[in-house]
Structure 1
Amino acid sequence: MSELPKPHVDPIDQGAQARAHGRKRECCPYPAGSEKREAWLEGFTGMPRDRPRDLPLN
């Protein structure tokens, strides 16, 4: 019997789901400095990496 292919898992979606379910940033499953960790954190925070932070409205 052949194995079924593993579904593609998007780290951005994983991070967004983690936040939606009340998990903490520290639960990121990817190692520090990895591209997947950066993508996971992007999903968790909802802030694209290639965009600078918004300035506060003062």
Structure 2
Amino acid sequence: MDLRQSPTLKVISEGAHARVVGRPKDACPYPACSPERKAWLEGYDGTPSEDGPDSPIADA
């Protein structure tokens, strides 16, 4: 089993962690309009930027 996070999930986690420790939203280290910035801000805000319908949960 591969326990490594995808690069996108890692950036989302970084954004969530920044909010938890009290860093301001404008502390995002990624360039404007980059996919990394979008992911970081999703983590910071706690919501995906494109809030679509939930997918069904696959059987585990």
TM-score, normalised with respect to structure 1: 0.71
Aligned residues: percent identity?
A: 47
Cα distance, 1:13 vs structure 2? 0.1
Unaligned runs of 5+ in 2: 1-5, 53-60
**Which structure: greater helix fraction?**
2
Letter in 1 for 2:37: R
Cα distance, 1:18 vs structure 2? 0.1
- Which has the greater radius of gyration? 1
What is the count of residue pairs matched by the alignment? Answer: 45
TM-score, normalised with respect to structure 2: 0.68
Structure 1 runs (4+) greater than 2 angstroms displaced: none
Separation in 1, partners of 2:41, 2:49: 9
Alpha-carbon RMSD? 1.6
Unaligned runs of 5+ in 1: 1-7, 53-58
